[in-house]
Amino acid sequence: MTSDIWELIASFLFGSFIGGYVTHRFAIRLEARARRIELLGFLHQWRHEIERFAPKDSEGIWKNYRAREGDFRKHVGKMDGDFMLHRRSFKRITDLLIRLHSEDISRGKDFRLNLVTPIDRLIKHLSGVWNRRKC
């Protein structure tokens, strides 16, 4: 009789642990997906803002970059722990946007591309990584 009680208690504890772990992992995955969707929305909006500038408006593009850089860093900081296998590539691509200087914006025929191209690379990276994870 006492062994039945101990088996019941052990089963309850084991089941509670497994159920709690599964729920925790599911919640983490949902939160990571929400952060990804939030960052993708931010990037698409930012890209749209850049495209509205004239191709040679380096001052306007640079001011927009400086105004949005802080928000970008905030979004990236939230996602830092979401990439276990792809952390280096995520960091490499985000660094392209974080380390821009005003001289970098003023290169080429269409200055907008100097900011839109890294944004597009990050959008493609985020979509590819998360599609592989089936999120």
Q: Report yes or no: 82 and 32 within 8 Å, Cβ to Cβ.
A: yes
State how far the Cα of 1 lies from the Cα of 7, in Å rounded to an integer. 10
Is residue 24 situated within a structural domain? no
Number of domains in the chain: 1
List all residues 6 or more positions away from 70 whose beta carbon is below 8 Å from its beta carbon: none
pLDDT tens digits along 36-79 = 999 999 999 999 999 999 999 999 999 999 999 999 999 998 88
Cα(46)–Cα(24) distance, integer angstroms: 33
Q: Determine, yes or no, domain membership for 95.
A: yes
The residue range of the domain holding 71 is 34-132
Would you say residue 84 lies in a domain?
Answer: yes
For residue 90, what pLDDT is reported? 86
Tell me, yes or no, whether 8 lies in a domain.
no
Between residues 93 and 15, which one has the greater pLDDT?
A: 93
Do the domain assignments include residue 5? no
Q: Are 91 and 44 in contact (CB under 8 A)?
A: no
Cβ 113 vs Cβ 47: under 8 Å: no
Whether 16 maps to a domain, the answer reads no
In a domain, 23, yes or no: no
pTM of the model: 0.79
Q: What is the pLDDT of residues 20-37, one digit of tens each?
A: 888 888 888 888 889 999
